[in-house]
């Protein structure tokens, strides 16, 4: 359920931007992807950080001050242009984000999701050779960041190896998974590897029901 649109100010330069707010949402009809991302039609995707349209500096949404509701903006700031919605950073902005944000694992996973979103949204034609190169470097960097003792990260690492076409390494990791709850996931990955498929695939879904 949607709340009112709010106007926030860039903490660096004060430039206003618009965000959607939500009272509630659910994960009805969720799709689970091989990179670990869950996408649901009624679950909002909100960026955690953005680049300001005016000053181009990165800021975290949680650090940006709320100025007012969108409907009141004109009465307070009639001299200013109508603010535009915040946007997720583009893939090519991620190398900049990597320089600024300490938590490299977080940024690199978001960067992977950002790249894969183009596949999810059937916009692969937008992937340039430069983006492909940066994406691959990101995959190699991610290999060193995942903790194999954590089942979720082990699966993500196996996924990254698969994306790189390093199928043997991916299989070796998947074989370490012995949690019976994950055996279906393991089978699905092994099936794609048998097909020599490096690409992102739908793991489950859409799943109907509350989670």
User: Binding residues for Zn ion, per CB under 5 A?
Assistant: 10, 12-13, 15, 52, 54-55
Nearer to Zn ion, 90 or 152 (CB): 90
Neighbour tally for 131: CB within 10 Å: 17
Nearer to Zn ion, 56 or 183 (CB): 56
- What is the Cα–Cα distance from 157 to 43, expressed in whole angstroms? 26
What is the gyration radius of the CA atoms in the chain, in angstroms? 20
In the complex, least distance from residue 15 CB atom to Zn ion, rounded to whole angstroms: 4
Tokens representing 204 are 């489950």
Neighbour tally for 192: CB within 10 Å: 20
In the complex, least distance from residue 76 CB atom to Zn ion, rounded to whole angstroms: 19
Asked if residues 40 and 29 have their Cβ atoms less than 8 Å apart, the reply is yes
In the complex, least distance from residue 185 CB atom to Zn ion, rounded to whole angstroms: 42
DSSP 88: P
In the complex, least distance from residue 78 CB atom to Zn ion, rounded to whole angstroms: 21
- What is the Cα–Cα distance from 153 to 26, expressed in whole angstroms? 25
Nearer to Zn ion, 17 or 200 (CB): 17
Nearer to Zn ion, 15 or 77 (CB): 15
């Amino acid at each position: 359920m949607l709340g009112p649109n709010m106007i926030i100010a860039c903490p660096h330069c004060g430039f206003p931007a618009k965000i959607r707010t939500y009272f509630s949402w659910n994960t009805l009809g969720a799709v689970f992807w091989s990179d670990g991302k869950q996408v649901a039609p009624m679950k909002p995707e909100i960026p955690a950080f953005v680049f300001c349209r005016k000053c181009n500096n990165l800021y975290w949404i949680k650090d940006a001050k709320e100025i007012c509701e969108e409907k009141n903006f004109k009465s307070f700031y009639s001299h200013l242009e109508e603010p535009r919605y915040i946007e997720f950073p583009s893939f090519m902005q991620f190398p900049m984000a990597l320089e600024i944000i300490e938590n490299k694992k977080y940024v690199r996973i978001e960067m992977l999701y950002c790249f894969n979103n183009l596949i999810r949204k059937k916009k692969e034609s937008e992937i340039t050779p430069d983006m492909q190169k940066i994406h691959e470097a990101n995959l190699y960097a991610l290999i060193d960041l995942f903790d194999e003792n954590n089942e979720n990260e082990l699966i993500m690492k196996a996924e990254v190896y698969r994306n790189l076409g390093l199928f043997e390494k991916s299989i070796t990791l998947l074989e370490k998974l012995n949690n019976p709850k994950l055996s279906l996931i393991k089978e699905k990955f092994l099936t794609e590897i048998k097909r020599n498929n490096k690409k992102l695939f739908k793991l489950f879904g859409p799943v109907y029901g509350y989670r």
